[in-house]
Amino acid sequence: MYTSIQRRLTRAHTLGLLDEIDSSSQKCTTGYYFTGETSDDIEDRIRKQVQESDVVAEILRSVTASKTGAVLFWGTQHKCLLIPPFPIKVSMHHPDIHIAPIQTMLRQDALISLVLIRLGEYNVATFRGETLLDHKHGTGLVHSRHKKGGSSQRRFERHREKQIEMFFTRVCQHVREKLEPLMREMDYLFYGGERNTIAGFRKQCTFLQRFDPYVVDRVLNVRRPNRSALTATISDVWCSELIEWTET
């Protein structure tokens, strides 16, 4: 019988864990799973890697739910699934410990852009690794929702929709100014803020469709997209999720 514990690791702690696994003398297999695989293929590969059948279903759920793939280490000392911050691009199985692909991902100084937006405030930032290179922060007037009914509410809502449209237009211009020169260098693009606002903004700012291949499908939780939020936000970008199993 196995129980699992899930925790969140910073970039440094994840690299430390990988070094620990790599330096151990345990017998351990390694599986790399990416999001393009079918559920049946993933399950088949997990069953070949994991002998303990009672944990296969839980591992399968975690792998298929991940938007970036996963790396599974299964051995005498470490039984863990690592969900990385960026997409796994390889599908492979190794009979021994093989940390090179995930270690390379986490050690790279990737060029990462963030588009953080909530109604009335935005920030467009670019990092090399975790070092801030540039950012553009701004605000705009968007009234809160009107709770009264009748024709006055409808007029207010039309006025508010116009405010949102103007705000999105201005933000889109700044996004273009900041991101267009990075088109050939960018590694990843993240959106952060409120989901509905992000969806509306991406629908209006069609220029952003050119960056879809770089988008990591994870919305960052950002309450205020101001300058002071950037340090915590880029740290969150680099975090990995770890699930560990222990025998009980």
Does the pLDDT at position 31 exceed 80? yes
CB under 8 Å to 167, separation ≥6 — which residues?
119, 120, 140, 141, 142
**Residue 180 region by backbone torsions, left for phi larger than 0, else alpha for psi between -120 and 50, else beta:** alpha
pLDDT tens-digit readout, 123-136: 999 999 999 999 99
pLDDT of residue 53: 87
From 246, 111, 121, select the one nearest 181 (Cα to Cα).
Answer: 111
Other beta carbons within 10 Å of 174: 16
Superfamily of domain 111-237: eRF1 domain 2 (3.30.420.60)
| pLDDT attached to residue 143 | 61
Q: What share of the chain in percent tops pLDDT 70?
A: 93
The answer, yes or no, to whether residue 25 has pLDDT greater than 80, is: yes
pLDDT for the residue 246: 94
Cross-strand partners of 124: 115, 136
Any residues with CB less than 8 A from the CB of 65 and at least 6 apart, and which?
Answer: none
What are the boundaries of each domain within the chain?
Answer: 2-108, 111-237
Q: Is pLDDT at 149 greater than 60 in this prediction?
A: no
Q: In 3D, which of 186, 236, 226, 235 has the Cα closest to residue 208?
A: 186
- What pLDDT was estimated at residue 179? 97
Tokens coding 70: 């996963």
Listed in sequence order, the DSSP H helices in 180-222 are 195-204
> What's the rounded Cα separation, in Å, for the pair 38 and 15?
29
* Domain made up of 2-108: CATH architecture: 2-Layer Sandwich (3.30)
Helix/strand/coil for 235: helix
Mean per-residue pLDDT for 82-93? 95
pTM, rounded to two decimals: 0.90
Q: In which band, very low, low, confident or very high, does the pLDDT at 1 lie, cut at 50, 70 and 90?
A: confident
Tens of pLDDT, residue by residue over 233-248, are: 999 999 999 999 998 8
Q: Give residue 105's pLDDT.
A: 97
Mean pLDDT of 104-122: 96
Report the pLDDT value the prediction gives residue 77, as an integer from 0 to 100. 93
Asked if residues 116 and 126 have their Cβ atoms less than 8 Å apart, the reply is: no
